[in-house]
Amino acid sequence: MDSTQAKGDLRFVEELARRARAQIDPHAFHYVHWGLIVLVWFPLENWLQANGLGAWQIAVRVTSIALGVVLTVFRERRLARTPRFESEDVELTRQIIWIVYASVGAGIVLSAVAPTFELIAPANVPILWGIVYANIAFATGVVYRRGFLFGAALIFAGVVAAIVLQPFNGYVLGPCMGLGMVVPGLAAEREVRRNREELERASA
């Protein structure tokens, strides 16, 4: 095989890889809406707790979780009916979904077990969720888009700060977790839209 043919084969492989990557949909809107939810939820609950408004604190928590679940289910069902790519790389999408579901599942179990057996105080459960979010962002950054690694670093820094400043953990973690998810999530959504538009133009 001469060098000209080798270079041509390499360009062909690179083009195939580019086309495959252009049809990856990580469903990053979940990162955006859950990031926005915790951006408001955690500081607000921290303030309610500090002011002894326990009933409002529970109401905010239940409302935030319910809103996130409704948005997740609604948008997933809508996407199942009308996928954004005809030939989506479903394997990578499945990996990202498993990362999220496994991490959230572990977070739910630990949120129930850790305070019950006095490993952490109930007021510090947001710190545990900070670790969960950091893990989700890191793993997504490894398998999909590097920008999520910066989000993971921001969230992890927030977790460390929240451990040091435990009475203010919601004020610290809300912005760190929110921005750490929303910023790379929006970038991923923009990439999906851009790739979809390019594929539509190419097939026109």
The count of residues in the chain is 204
For 33, the domain range is 24-203
Characterise 24 by phi-psi region: left (phi > 0), alpha (psi -120 to 50), beta (else): beta
Domain assignment present for 7: no
What is the pLDDT averaged over residues 91-113?
87
pLDDT at 19 over 90: no
Domain assignment present for 162: yes
Domain assignment present for 9: no
pLDDT at 85 over 80: no
* This prediction's pTM: 0.83
pLDDT at 13 over 50: no
Domain assignment present for 179: yes
Can you give the pLDDT at residue 82?
79
Report d(CA 95, CA 87) in Å as an integer.
17
Question: Tokens standing for 189?
Answer: 């959504």
How confident is the model over 147-183, as pLDDT tens digits?
A: 999 999 999 999 999 999 999 999 999 999 999 999 9
CA dihedral 151, 75, 97, 92 (to 10 degrees): -90
Report d(CA 194, CA 71) in Å as an integer.
23
Report d(CA 50, CA 56) in Å as an integer.
12
Question: Mean pLDDT score of the chain, rounded to an integer?
Answer: 86
Domain assignment present for 194: yes
Domain assignment present for 149: yes
Domain assignment present for 70: yes
Report d(CA 150, CA 132) in Å as an integer.
15
Report d(CA 54, CA 154) in Å as an integer.
29
- Domain count of the fold of the chain: 1
Domain assignment present for 10: no
Q: What is the DSSP-derived secondary structure letter of residue 131? A: H
